[in-house]
C-alpha cells in the first residue's frame, strides 16, 4: 500500500513539474513575442518629418550620433533609429558619411544603410569659377577633405597625365557631380578629369585641330572670351575675332588677361600702367595664347570657340551705353573712335 502511495506522489510531483515547465515556456514565448512585436514596431516606425541630411564624421562618438539623430529627426524617431542601429551594429567608423532620411523611410531601412555604410551621394555643383583655389573651396565644402587636400591631389593626379600647373583649369568642366563624402581628393580629381575627357570627344578634338589649337588651347581662348562678355549671344563673334588675331600673328591685347596677371578682376578701366605688368599672361606684351586658362570655362563657351563663324573683325570695344555688348570692326581708326566714345562716357560717369 505504501509503495502505491509513493508512486502516486512521484507521479503528482512529476506532473506539477511538467506543468511548471509548460507555464515557464509559455511565459518565455509570450515575452519573446512581446519583445519581437515591440522590435517590429520599432523597426517599422515610419519617418513623417521633412527630409533630413545626416552627416556622420570620423571624429563623432556613438553618443554624439545619437544626439544628432534626436536633434534632426525628432526624439521619437531619432532615439528609435539609434537603438535599432546600435542593436544592428553601432559601428561609427562604418557609418561615416552622408545619409538622407526622407518622409516614409522606415527605421529598419535607415539602420541597415548606416550598418552597411550605404551613403547617399552629395551633389557638387560649380560654375563661374576663376581660380583653382576657388574650385578647391567649393568642392571641399561638400567633402570630408580640405581645399588644400584637393590642390595636392591636383598636383599629384594632373601632373602625372601631363598637365602643367598653369593648365590645371583646363582639366575641369563646370557641371553638377555626385560623390560620396568619404571619397578621396585624388578620386574626385580623377572623376572630374574623366568627365572633361569625355566632353572632348572626337568631333570636338577634330574641330580644335581645324582651328590649329589643342583642347587646352581652345579652353584658354574660351576663358578669355568668357571674361570679355557676359552676353552669350556675342561670344562666338568675340571668339572669331581672336581667332583672326591668332592667325595673323597679332597680339591678342585682351584686357582680362592683364587683370588676371595683376590678380585684380575688379579693374573696370585698363590703363597704360596696367599694361606694363611683366607676366606671360599679359597679351599686350606677348603674342599668342597665355600659358593656360584664366578661368574654368563653361561648356557653351568652349563650343562657341569651336563653332565660331568666319568674321572680318580684329578690334572690339565695349559699347558706350554700358549694355555689356561690344562694337566690332576691322578698321583700326573706327576702333579708336569707338574707344574714345566709351572712354568719354566712363569719364562722365567718374
Cβ atoms of residues 195 and 175 within 8 Å? yes
CA-angle at 100, arms to 95 and 101, nearest 5°: 100
Whole-number pLDDT of residue 117: 93
Q: Of 30-44, 189-203, 262-276, which range is least confident? A: 30-44
Domain parsing of the chain, residue ranges? 52-116, 122-199, 213-311
CA-angle at 219, arms to 255 and 144, nearest 5°: 105
How much is the pTM? 0.83
DSSP-assigned letter for residue 234: G
Identity of the highest mean pLDDT range in 2-16, 17-31, 138-152:
138-152
- The set of cell numbers assigned to 77 is 524617431
Residues 41-79 pLDDT 10s: 455 689 999 999 999 998 999 999 999 999 999 999 999
Residues 273-302 pLDDT 10s: 999 999 999 999 999 999 999 999 999 999
CA 170 to chain centre: 16
Cβ atoms of residues 258 and 274 within 8 Å? yes
Give the SS3 label for residue 16.
helix
- The set of cell numbers assigned to 144 is 570630408
DSSP string, 166-225: GGGGGG---EEEEE-TTS-HHHHHHHHHHHHHHHS-HHHHHHHHHTT--HHHHHHHHHHH
Amino acid at each position: 500500500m505504501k509503495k502505491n502511495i509513493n508512486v502516486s506522489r512521484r507521479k503528482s510531483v512529476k506532473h506539477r513539474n511538467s506543468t511548471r515547465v509548460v507555464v515557464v515556456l509559455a511565459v518565455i514565448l509570450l515575452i519573446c513575442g512581446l519583445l519581437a512585436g515591440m522590435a517590429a514596431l520599432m523597426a517599422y516606425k515610419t519617418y513623417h518629418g521633412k527630409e533630413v541630411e545626416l552627416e556622420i564624421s570620423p571624429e563623432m562618438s556613438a553618443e554624439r550620433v545619437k544626439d544628432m539623430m534626436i536633434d534632426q529627426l525628432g526624439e521619437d524617431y531619432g532615439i528609435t533609429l539609434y537603438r535599432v542601429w546600435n542593436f544592428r551594429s553601432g559601428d561609427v567608423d562604418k557609418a561615416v558619411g552622408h545619409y538622407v532620411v526622407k518622409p516614409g523611410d522606415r527605421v529598419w531601412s535607415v539602420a541597415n544603410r548606416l550598418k552597411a555604410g550605404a551613403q547617399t551621394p552629395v551633389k557638387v555643383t560649380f560654375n563661374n569659377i576663376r581660380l583653382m583655389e576657388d574650385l578647391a573651396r567649393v568642392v571641399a565644402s561638400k567633402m570630408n577633405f580640405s581645399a588644400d587636400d584637393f590642390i595636392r591631389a591636383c598636383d599629384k593626379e594632373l601632373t602625372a597625365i601631363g598637365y602643367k600647373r598653369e593648365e590645371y583649369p583646363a582639366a575641369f568642366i563646370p557641371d553638377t557631380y555626385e560623390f560620396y563624402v568619404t571619397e578621396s581628393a585624388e578620386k574626385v580629381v580623377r572623376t572630374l578629369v574623366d568627365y572633361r575627357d569625355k566632353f572632348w570627344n572626337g568631333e570636338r578634338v577634330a574641330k580644335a585641330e581645324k582651328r590649329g589649337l589643342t583642347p587646352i588651347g581652345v579652353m584658354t581662348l574660351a576663358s578669355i572670351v568668357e571674361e570679355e562678355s557676359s552676353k552669350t549671344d556675342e561670344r562666338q563673334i568675340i571668339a572669331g575675332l581672336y581667332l583672326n588675331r591668332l592667325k595673323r600673328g597679332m597680339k591678342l591685347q585682351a584686357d582680362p588677361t592683364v587683370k588676371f596677371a595683376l590678380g585684380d578682376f575688379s579693374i573696370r578701366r585698363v590703363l597704360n600702367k596696367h599694361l606694363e605688368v611683366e607676366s606671360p599672361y599679359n597679351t599686350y606684351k606677348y603674342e599668342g595664347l597665355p600659358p593656360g586658362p584664366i578661368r574654368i570655362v563653361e561648356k557653351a563657351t568652349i563650343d562657341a570657340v569651336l563653332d565660331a563663324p568666319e568674321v572680318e573683325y580684329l578690334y572690339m570695344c565695349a559699347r558706350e551705353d554700358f549694355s555689356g555688348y561690344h562694337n566690332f570692326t576691322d578698321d583700326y581708326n573706327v576702333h579708336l573712335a569707338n574707344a574714345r566714345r566709351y572712354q568719354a562716357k566712363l569719364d562722365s560717369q567718374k
